Structure 1
Amino acid sequence: MEDIELKQPFDEMLIREYLLDNPDFFNRYPELLLALRVPHHERGAVSLVERRQEMLSQRVAQLEEEITSLMNVAVRNEKIFEFNTQLCLDVLDSEDLGQLRITLANGLKSEFNFSHVRLITVHDIDSELANIWRSRISNDYYFGRLTQSESKRLFGSEVGSVALTRLKSENGQVIFAIASKDPAHFHPEMDALLFSQLRRILAHKLPKL
């Protein structure tokens, strides 16, 4: 006698779709909530009511964590906004290029723990800086890592990752460069809002120094 392949007498996906389309099903048949049992890795089999309550509790805990995380992000963003506003005002108050460099370095290093903050004038005779200017900052900004020689030329030592942009001043072209010890801190997909705001302020201020 040939073996007969046993098939489930129902389509699980059809039942799933039916229950999703009829969320009041168990209201019409409340006895099923207590009769049906669901495996539980710690408590054995539990009723659908118990399982639903547990899932709701887990969801509430997850939502509380998400809300806490969003609140922390909001507090951090507010702090960054206040810092950036004050830094921009300090930049505008700078009386010369030396004071401007000190203002940028002290502010950004203390707030974000950056390792280097530099404003570097690019002269035509300096081919290495000119190459960095052309290759790395062709689209106004560069976020990411540098070669060893590029790092040493811009910062005097190897760094983890950098944010670069280019500006113009009375003395010629200028590279605004920030470096972090963390190789992953600056990356191509990051938000450039803070950096672009500083760039606009510097673009306004540098020609006047």
Structure 2
Amino acid sequence: MSSQPEPTPDYPQIEQNLIEYLNNHPDFFDRHPELLTKLELPHNNGNTVSLIERQVAVLREQAEQDRQKLEEFVAIARENELLNERLHRLTVKLIECCDFEEVINTLQDLLHDDFRAEAVELHLYSASAMEHASNPDLDGFRDFLDGNRPRCGRLPAERLEYLFGPQAEDIASTALIPIRGEGLLGVLAIGSHSEHRFHPGMGTDYLIRLGEIVSKTLEVVSEPGS
């Protein structure tokens, strides 16, 4: 009479049942603390550690990750606070401007000093310029002005030459800010010698606010040459 083979245990199902049981009974090890000192887990270095030691190591690792994230958040918050202070200072200075030349000088001074810009140029056009397809000054900037959103990154050499003139060869990255006001439009170009200073993935909220501030200021000061 042949004996029947013993059925193979369904280990995956057993493990799943165990996981579900422990999840549903988190006080299990409180009721059986002796198991914590008997359980051993393999460590990265090949040694074995108790469950408690492994839990402590995991908690320390999580705590270190949380600390690093917190430091990043604090650094971002401090940078945003400084940025808001600089925008406020720039706004106050622009409010004090009485003519176009003062606006240009204020922008160049404060953007150089507070925003670490190596080059600052403002190009203005009449609002009717957009209606003339043959206007060469707007070549390459029509889509940008139509989109009315700041743009950051690297620019072709011919556009850098138009925006920054003799400084163009030193500019590695640029922030372009659309200027739109009553009867005028333009481009505020901020250039940096660092290719990492302005890049397509950076946030542009402060550039949007800067564009709005400059646009409103230019609406109330005299036009260049007047």
- Give TM class, smaller chain: 0.7 to 0.9
1:143–1:163 Cα contact (<8 Å) kept: yes
1:163 maps onto 2:166 in alignment:
no
1: CA distance, partners of 2:145 / 2:17:
57
Larger Rg: 2
2: CA distance, partners of 1:8 / 1:113:
69
TM-score by length of 2: 0.77
- Gapped regions of structure 1 (runs ≥ 5): 1-6
1:133–1:166 Cα contact (<8 Å) kept: no
Matches within 5 A, 1:21-60: 21-42=24-45, 44-60=47-63
Q: CA RMSD in A?
A: 2.8
2: CA distance, partners of 1:168 / 1:76:
28
Matches within 5 A, 1:1-209: 9-11=10-12, 12-42=15-45, 44-122=47-125, 124=129, 127-141=135-149, 142-156=151-165, 157-158=168-169, 159-168=171-180, 172-209=184-221
Structure 1 position 57, deviation (Å): 1.9
Structure 1 position 119, deviation (Å): 1.0
2:144–2:178 Cα contact (<8 Å) kept: no
TM-score by length of 1: 0.83
Number of residue pairs aligned between Structure 1 and Structure 2: 205
1: CA distance, partners of 2:112 / 2:9:
66
Alignment correspondent of 1:4: none
Q: Secondary structure at the match of 1:164?
A: strand
Once structures 1 and 2 are overlaid, which stretch shifts more, 89-98 or 179-188? 179-188
Structure 1 position 207, deviation (Å): 2.0
Classify 1:8/1:178 alpha carbon distance in 2 versus 1 (closer, same or farther; 3 Å).
farther
Classify 1:60/1:169 alpha carbon distance in 2 versus 1 (closer, same or farther; 3 Å).
closer
1: CA distance, partners of 2:208 / 2:83:
14
Classify 1:46/1:168 alpha carbon distance in 2 versus 1 (closer, same or farther; 3 Å).
closer
Classify 1:10/1:70 alpha carbon distance in 2 versus 1 (closer, same or farther; 3 Å).
same
Structure 1 position 170, deviation (Å): 7.8
2: CA distance, partners of 1:146 / 1:35:
65
1: CA distance, partners of 2:214 / 2:178:
10
Q: Secondary structure at the match of 1:163?
A: strand
2: CA distance, partners of 1:175 / 1:203:
10
Structure 1 position 206, deviation (Å): 0.5
- Amino acid in the other structure paired with 2:216: H
1: CA distance, partners of 2:120 / 2:16:
59
Bigger RCO (CA 8 Å, 6+ sep): 2
1: CA distance, partners of 2:52 / 2:121:
63
2:148–2:178 Cα contact (<8 Å) kept: yes
Structure 1 position 155, deviation (Å): 1.2
- Gapped regions of structure 2 (runs ≥ 5): 1-7, 222-226
Q: Deviations over 1:10-30 (max 9, x none)?
A: 114554444334322222322
2: CA distance, partners of 1:29 / 1:67:
37
